């Protein structure tokens, strides 16, 4: 009987020790898994080049309880960016976008908002109401333009940089995507059409984008109206088969 009791106690002790060892070995694995999930979630909502929010991250802010909301939505793109890529290569273009992203992030932080890279050379800002929308837009543009020093295959080069911007004011219950980005996009189209004056425009009721707007002004945004989806499309420039 004594040996049976001792055997049972030893078996129970071994089981307890084994469980504890398994638990201690599992905890680091669970921690690493949690970190991996967090990193994956970060990349899903952030742009890998500029490390700013991407479109998904910007739109998710509307569902963040701590997000105070925004009253000004701004859309910007880099003027003549295609010429930079064609003339200096995509690596130089990436350097330019990183610096533009940093400048916009500082401008957004100054106004208590956030910046995001939506795609290519297109950026967006979501800002709370702090001043007149035209004044805020002019300040952001002024903080963004100016020479940007980049490294090329032929040495350092200072590239003159300018942007075009469109901005709008949205109500507290308006959607950033369905109202803010759409109205800001229309305003930016009008800013690009100007031959002189400031390189930005603010949306006013009645502003429209022509149906035959150039490819650069068309955006792949879906507009939701009365519960129905109205898809928009962006033409693709295909040069044809190589000779």
Answer whether residue 22 is part of any domain: no
CA distance 129 to 133: 8
Answer whether residue 236 is part of any domain: no
What is the model's pLDDT at position 228? Answer: 44
Answer whether residue 240 is part of any domain: no
> Is the pLDDT confidence value at 87 over 80?
yes
Give the confidence band of 29 by pLDDT, cuts at 50, 70, 90: low
> Is the pLDDT confidence value at 98 over 90?
yes
What is the model's pLDDT at position 154? Answer: 85
Answer whether residue 93 is part of any domain: yes
Look over the chain and give the mean of its residue pLDDT values, rounded to a whole number. 78
Look at residues 162, 170, 186, 178 and name the one whose alpha carbon lies nearest to residue 127: 170
Answer whether residue 59 is part of any domain: yes
CATH assignment at residue 84: 3.30.70.270
Answer whether residue 231 is part of any domain: no
Give the confidence band of 81 by pLDDT, cuts at 50, 70, 90: very high
Please enumerate in sequence order all residues whose Cβ is within 8 A of that of 94, keeping only pairs 6 or more positions apart, or say none.
49
DSSP string, 22-39: HHHHHHHHHHHHHHHHHH
Domain total of the chain: 1
Answer whether residue 148 is part of any domain: yes
What is the model's pLDDT at position 49? Answer: 93
80 vs 242, more confident: 80
126 vs 210, more confident: 126
- Domain extent at residue 155: 45-217
Answer whether residue 161 is part of any domain: yes
């Amino acid at each position: 009987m004594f040996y049976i009791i001792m055997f049972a106690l030893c078996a129970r002790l071994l089981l307890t020790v084994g469980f504890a060892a398994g638990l201690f070995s599992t905890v680091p694995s669970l921690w690493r898994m949690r970190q991996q999930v967090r990193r994956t979630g970060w990349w899903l909502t952030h742009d890998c080049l500029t490390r700013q929010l991407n479109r998904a991250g910007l739109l998710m802010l509307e569902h963040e309880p701590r997000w105070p909301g925004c009253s000004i939505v701004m859309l910007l793109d880099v003027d003549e960016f295609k010429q930079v890529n064609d003339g200096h290569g995509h690596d130089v273009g990436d350097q330019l976008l990183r610096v533009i992203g940093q400048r916009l992030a500082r401008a957004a932080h100054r106004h208590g908002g956030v910046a995001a890279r939506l795609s290519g050379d297109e950026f967006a800002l979501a800002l709370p109401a702090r001043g007149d929308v035209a004044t805020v837009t002019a300040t952001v543009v002024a903080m963004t333009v100016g020479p940007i020093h980049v490294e090329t295959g032929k040495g350092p080069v200072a590239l003159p940089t300018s942007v075009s911007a469109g901005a709008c004011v949205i109500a507290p219950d308006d959607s950033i995507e369905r109202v803010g980005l759409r109205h800001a996009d229309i305003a930016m189209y009008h800013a690009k059409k100007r031959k002189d004056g400031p390189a930005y425009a603010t949306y006013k009721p009645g502003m429209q984008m022509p149906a035959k707007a150039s490819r650069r002004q068309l955006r792949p945004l879906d507009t939701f109206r009365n519960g129905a989806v109205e898809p928009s499309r962006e033409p693709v420039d295909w040069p044809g088969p190589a000779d």
